Amino acid sequence: MAKKIRQVLGISGGKDSAALAIYLKQQNKIPEMEYFFTDTGVELPEIYTFLDKLEIYLGQKIIRLGSKKDFFHHLKMKDGMLPSPQQRWCTKEMKLAPFEEFIGNDECISYIGIRADENREGYISNKKNIKPMFPFIEDGLVREDIFNLLRETVGIPEYYEWRSRSGCFFCFFQRREEWIGLSERHPKEFARAVEMEKQEGGEGYTWIQGMTLEELVDRKDEILTNSKKRKEQLAKRKDNRSWQDILIEDGQDDENQACLICSL
């Protein structure tokens, strides 16, 4: 008998993958869907609350995957080299590898929440047995549809109040004002990021180009003022999208580089 094709959906903790899970659940076409979340162990705290809400709505466990070793073990293996957009070992080792191990050699369809109004490719597995599918693109769902789906069900993830994407608390894709948001909302995690910058990063290393996190805090007022001005300028030119989406869609953010498995 032919082996069943597995149907999987990776929940990143972000809005699009959550909305996709809800969308497909409402259609009830794939009752055997396996939901999974790859946990680095250093995720934003709000993500776990959001996953709990989503599990209740889906009526099903979201399987927690993770690397067998924690982030700091991997960091040691990389000779203390903190991850960065150029050296993104974090995604490979802590997100993609556990996913590929979970699938093994099984034939599988992996559902991905890229929207019809996006023009980007994600960081997805290249394994031949994993076939990606993009239901939002096929069905023409855009950003507003995604927000509506969330508002009507589990709500929008709380961290959207101050950060544009999910993922690790120290993710190097976050903007300066988001680092400030981290310092205010999660001072312990921010303090850890400061320590990592000093200890593991070593002489001259900074999470943000040209500025340490301590310098960032000293320049908080200036950074927030500039950020506010930028958002106002963008809002004048644009419509009523959120400031996060305006920045992303106007190419002022690194969303295109962010991995789907981390932040979609």
* Chain positions contacting ligand SF4, by CB under 6 A: 40, 83, 88, 90-91, 94-95, 167-168, 171, 173, 259, 262
∠ CA(254), CA(258), CA(261), 5° rounding? 165
Q: Output 23 or 169, the one with its CB closest to ligand SF4.
A: 169
* 186: Cβ contacts below 8 Å, ≥ 6 apart: 44, 45, 169
Task: Give the residue closest to ligand SF4 by C-beta.
Answer: 167
Task: Give me the least distance between CB of 259 and ligand SF4, in Å please.
Answer: 5
Give, as one character, the DSSP assignment of residue 257. G
Question: Shortest Cβ distance from residue 193 to ligand SF4 (Å)?
Answer: 11
Which one, 97 or 234, has the nearer CB to ligand SF4?
A: 97
- The least CB distance from residue 26 to ligand SF4, in Å, is 28
Least distance (Å) from ligand SF4 to the CB of residue 92?
A: 9
Short-list 122, 77, 83, CA closest to 263? 122
- Is 122 or 167 the residue whose CB approaches ligand SF4 more closely? 167
What CA–CA distance (Å, rounded) separates 155 from 46?
13
**83 vs 201, which CB is nearer to ligand SF4?**
83
CB atoms within 10 A of CB 33: 17
Are 135 and 111 in contact by the 8 Å Cβ rule? The answer is yes
Q: CB of 223: closest distance to ligand SF4 in angstroms?
A: 21
Based on CB atoms, which residue is closest to ligand SF4, 173 or 179? Answer: 173
Q: Is 167 buried (19+), middle (13-18) or exposed (0-12) by CB count in 10 A?
A: buried
Distance CA 115, CA 27 (A): 17
Q: How far is the CB of 209 from ligand SF4 (least distance, A)?
A: 16
CB 258, min distance to ligand SF4, A: 6
Retrieve residue 57's tokens.
């709505």
170-203 burial, b at 16+ Cβ within 10 Å, e below that, comes to bbbbbbbbbbbbbbebbeebbeebbebbeebbee
By C-beta, is 150 or 171 nearer to ligand SF4? 171
Cβ proximity to ligand SF4: between 54 and 196 the closer is: 196
Closer to ligand SF4 by Cβ: residue 47 or 223: 47
CB of 195 to ligand SF4, least distance (A): 16
Radius of gyration of the chain (CA): 19
| Pick from 86, 89, 92, 91: nearest CA to 75 | 89
